[in-house]
Structure 1
Amino acid sequence: MTRLLRRAAIALVLVLAPGSAWLLPATGAAADSDTRCAVPESLTFVDTPLPQVTKKLQARLPVHVVVLGTSSSMPTTKGLPRSYAAGLQAALETRLPGVLLQIDNLSEKNHTAMQMAEKLARTVAPMQPDLVLWQTGNVDAAQQIDINDFSAALEDGIAALRKSGIDVVLMAPQYRMRLSVMVDVAPYDRVMSQLGNAEDVVIFPRFDIMRHWADNGTFDTRTDDLAMQMLVAEAQNRCIAGLLADMIARAARLPPQ
């Protein structure tokens, strides 16, 4: 089913079932107290389901999530900002009341998409999680990995997960205004978005969200105060966790394709 047809089908469900427990939230902003988290609804719209997660939720069974990424997805370590992954479980539990979650974080520093695709096939798929959150792109951009090799690695990783019946959410690279003049991340973000659309994979558009915040001066990232930089990074990561949880909850509530 094309994306246009799916959007029409979703709209029809919302019209015909006003009392349904599976209604989508009306806003694309994270349901958190920090108003800086708000982004245009178009950035967090999702019309691709997560059938394995949906099945577990409907059966009231535990949902097993694996996070695979690089530095920005790693468990928080001393001296570094609290990552979005550190707040993800609480954010998901808020949006999916009563769900039992197991989240395993297998992120490592400096891994390229190709290295992670190999890990997905060799290590993650045999674990049989219900959902994999795959964050990649910044390392490939910094190492100037060939864009076609990056795309092929994404395809291989997605194929390995789908072969095992595992849902996947691709998490786009970070946008950092200061780094953008040295590392061009945009081509890798575009490839991820294009591949996600072609493969019907849920994409969390972190690059576009962070660029929206930068363009609108939502977070003051111009300070040279290291303590303030830490606070700003942690605030952004809390918002990322909430917005990501919003998208996962929405996708898990969509009707099957």
Structure 2
Amino acid sequence: MEKEGLDCSQAGADRKSWSRVGPVWAASALASILLVGVTGPARAQDTACLASKPVFSSPVRLEGIGSKLRRQEPVRILAIGSSSTEGIGASSPAYSYPAQLQADLMQSWKGNIAVDNAGKGGETISETVGRLEAALRERRPDLVIWQVGTNDAVKGGDEARFSSLLRQGIDAAQALGVEVVLVDQQYYPAIKDLDHYERFVGLVGATGAAEHVPVFSRYKLMKAWGERSPDVLSTMLSSDGFHMGDRGYDCLAQLIADGLHYPTAVSEVMPNVTVTAAQR
């Protein structure tokens, strides 16, 4: 079911309820709190997420958003993509990554932040790019976070056409002065043709580099979870073993939010934003 335009403001309100994320994560989080104390940010409660290294291909520069925040103007972010954006695998819309990202950014940026969830499960890039172009005209977001490529890789799409459509969407946003961040494909244990799948992952990275667009490598992140421990990866996934679950979406949102306020991003133009040692 399509949930395009879902308002994340209410959905993010109760995003940290442990009762929804299962005993494995709750036990891990409790153990971590005993070590680090209860006063730190939520991300310190999950050691697997805390151990993840930054996975942006290049620094994210958001001077325009920083200027709007200094003027206390609202900031609108469009999160577009397929089921991973819609939140399939989460226990409720409150635990989709866009809802959790909005909560993280409202806390760190101290501003009026709206993250619009324009995820639609099952889409390939040929369907998403049309919705992206329409949303750019109608909503005029300040930033687009485009999760892309999983269904194209799984369904065996044409690689040249995929790259062309990805450039088309990026160019449409940049022509309007809208910043773009890409989120590449997910990793999951049952990938059938790894070489084919990783070629599509590489296409997202190569196109991002050519278009000077930062890429958040979800693929590297999730593959690293599996390499660290199959149990870590399984607790990040939903019961279908494919989509992320609440814990995975939470970690994804936290790491994206961290990348969106490196010293080269919003904090560079907002002196009141504190950059912690973990973010340097």
Under TM normalisation by the shorter chain, which class is it? Answer: 0.7 to 0.9
Task: Tell whether the 8 Å contact from 1:36 to 1:218 is kept in structure 2 after alignment.
Answer: no
SS in 2 for 1:68: strand
Mapping for residues 211-250 of structure 1, pairs under 5 Å: 211-217=223-229, 219-221=231-233, 233-250=245-262
SS in 2 for 1:106: strand
Look up the match of 2:108.
95
Name the CA distance, whole Å, in 2 between partners of 1:78 and 1:234.
5
Look up the match of 2:16.
none
Name the CA distance, whole Å, in 2 between partners of 1:229 and 1:187.
22
Task: Tell whether the 8 Å contact from 1:49 to 1:254 is kept in structure 2 after alignment.
Answer: no
Write the letter of the residue equivalent to 1:234: D
Look up the match of 1:107.
119
Name the CA distance, whole Å, in 1 between partners of 2:125 and 2:209.
18
CA distance 1:180–1:239, change in 2 (3 Å)? farther
Mapping for residues 57-96 of structure 1, pairs under 5 Å: 57-75=69-87, 82-96=95-109
Name the CA distance, whole Å, in 1 between partners of 2:107 and 2:234.
32
Task: Tell whether the 8 Å contact from 1:69 to 1:136 is kept in structure 2 after alignment.
Answer: yes
Task: Tell whether the 8 Å contact from 2:56 to 2:214 is kept in structure 1 after alignment.
Answer: no
Aligned residues: 223
Name the CA distance, whole Å, in 2 between partners of 1:189 and 1:227.
24
Q: What are the Cα deviations for residues 137-188 of structure 1, in whole angstroms up to 9, with x where unaligned? A: 1111122111111111110000111111111110111110223557943111
Identify the match of residue 153 of structure 1 among 160, 165, 174. 165
Identify the match of residue 168 of structure 1 among 159, 180, 188. 180
Look up the match of 1:208.
220
Residue identity over aligned pairs, in percent, reads: 27
User: Offset of 1:38 from its aligned partner?
Assistant: 2.9
Write the letter of the residue equivalent to 1:34: D
CA distance 1:37–1:168, change in 2 (3 Å)? same
CA distance 1:156–1:182, change in 2 (3 Å)? same
SS in 1 for 2:120: coil
Question: After alignment, is 193-202 or 173-182 more displaced?
Answer: 173-182
- Greater length-normalized contact order (CA 8 Å, ≥ 6 residues apart): 1
Look up the match of 1:190.
202
TM-score, length basis structure 2: 0.70
SS in 1 for 2:44: coil
Look up the match of 1:47.
59
User: Offset of 1:43 from its aligned partner?
Assistant: 2.6
Identify the match of residue 119 of structure 1 among 131, 138, 158. 131
CA distance 1:178–1:221, change in 2 (3 Å)? farther
Q: What are the Cα deviations for residues 86-123 of structure 1, in whole angstroms up to 9, with x where unaligned? A: 31111112322x21111211111111112211222223
Is residue 136 of structure 1 aligned with residue 169 of structure 2?
A: no
Q: Aligned Cα RMSD in Å?
A: 3.0
CA distance 1:153–1:63, change in 2 (3 Å)? same
Name the CA distance, whole Å, in 1 between partners of 2:221 and 2:90.
26
User: Offset of 1:75 from its aligned partner?
Assistant: 4.5
Write the letter of the residue equivalent to 1:85: P
Question: After alignment, is 72-81 or 242-251 more displaced?
Answer: 72-81
Name the CA distance, whole Å, in 1 between partners of 2:54 and 2:118.
30
Structure 1: runs of 5+ lacking an equivalent: 1-29
User: Offset of 1:36 from its aligned partner?
Assistant: 0.8
Look up the match of 1:253.
267
Name the CA distance, whole Å, in 2 between partners of 1:128 and 1:103.
13
Name the CA distance, whole Å, in 1 between partners of 2:157 and 2:241.
29
Structure 2: runs of 5+ lacking an equivalent: 1-41, 270-280
CA distance 1:78–1:103, change in 2 (3 Å)? closer
Name the CA distance, whole Å, in 2 between partners of 1:184 and 1:199.
23
Write the letter of the residue equivalent to 1:253: S
